Amino acid sequence: MKFLHQLPLLLAILSLSSCSHLPDDAAKLTSETELGAHDAKSLFATGIKAQQSGNASKAKSAYRQITKNFPQSPNASEAAYNLAKILESEGDLLDAFQAYEDILTKYPASPRYTEAIKRQETIAHQVAQGHITNSFIGMKSRIDPKKAAAMLSSVRDNAPKATSAERAQFAIGQLYQSRKSKKNSFRAIHAYERLVQDYPNSSYAPEAQYRIGETLLAQAKDGNQDSANLDRAKTAFEDVTVSYPRSKRASDARRQIAALASGDLTRSFNIAEHYRKKGQNSSALFYYQEVVSRSKPGPLRSKAQDWINQLSN
């Protein structure tokens, strides 16, 4: 019982003893913070001096130590920016792009934020437009289009309401359209469709809409000449004339529509010929009549009319 009466006193003594260490812990934490800031400041000075003297390797090492070990220091965002600039100047565009990305994600309050966005955009377009130097062996290498498209997507998403976003989305379509393969053609169409959908008032939208039809026609020339594919191309060109009638591409779209209509008539005539040669005259007549009803006076219409006259007797 005597022990129970003394328990509150013992707890109070232990509590006071524990609290007595708090000032020391706080002082230790403050000391470590100040030491880290001092080290970061010293490293930053080393980086600046090395950079000014042309020792890029030493400068990069100092800046990397700051961003890795002292990311909360006052010098961290500037160190990250200086690192990115050096990498870009050396032609190491992929690492430079990532370094600018680190500024945007880790230091959004940095005064270098806007500049980092601009530099990222420049790099992404450089990579998308062709070859970049491989910093390890000094040779140029072609970048995987999916990697370049991912970089352009970052540019778009980092500033989705800026003109740079529209430009980046259009560049994704261009990138895939230039890499001629069935998969890349589908990716190009998807990229252009997204631009028209997300940025219908963009100056890039009429061209993107036209290129949807253009890419579908390219697929047709490569052997995918099914009617559904050609119908999609025709619809894409019609959308240019309807949605962007005053654009530079509107007249081009009208010419494509006329060419497709002519192609439709040629296909109808060929189908009629196919049925006629097989002796299926009623089916042949149907398609010959379609050619006559839809075409203007000319050789194709005359041939179709001649067969109608012969098969009808």
d(CA 79, CA 4): 61
Could you give the angle at the alpha carbon of 294 between the alpha carbons of 289 and 295, nearest 5°? 100
Which residue, among 119, 105, 107, has the nearest Cα to 78 in the 3D structure? Answer: 107
pLDDT value for 133: 59
Beta bridge mates, 131: 142
What does each of the 313 residues of the chain score in pLDDT, given as a tens digit? 544 455 555 555 445 444 444 455 444 434 444 545 678 899 999 999 999 999 999 999 999 999 999 999 999 999 999 999 999 999 999 999 999 999 999 999 999 999 999 999 999 999 998 756 554 445 566 688 999 999 999 999 999 999 999 999 999 999 999 988 889 999 999 999 999 999 999 999 999 999 999 999 888 776 545 567 788 999 999 999 999 999 999 999 999 998 888 877 887 788 888 888 988 888 888 878 878 887 788 888 899 888 989 888 7
Q: Determine contact, residues 250/241, Cβ cutoff 8 Å.
A: yes
Residue for token digits 């019609």? 238
Element (H, E) at 240: helix 227-243
Q: Domain boundaries in the chain? A: 50-143, 158-247, 267-313
Residue for token digits 């706080």? 26
User: CB burial class (10 A; 0-12, 13-18, 19+) of residue 11?
Assistant: exposed
Regarding the domain delimited by 50-143, which CATH topology (the fold level of the hierarchy) does it fall under?
1.25.40
Element (H, E) at 151: helix 145-158
Which residue, among 221, 260, 257, 224, has the nearest Cα to 238 in the 3D structure? Answer: 257
pLDDT value for 16: 46
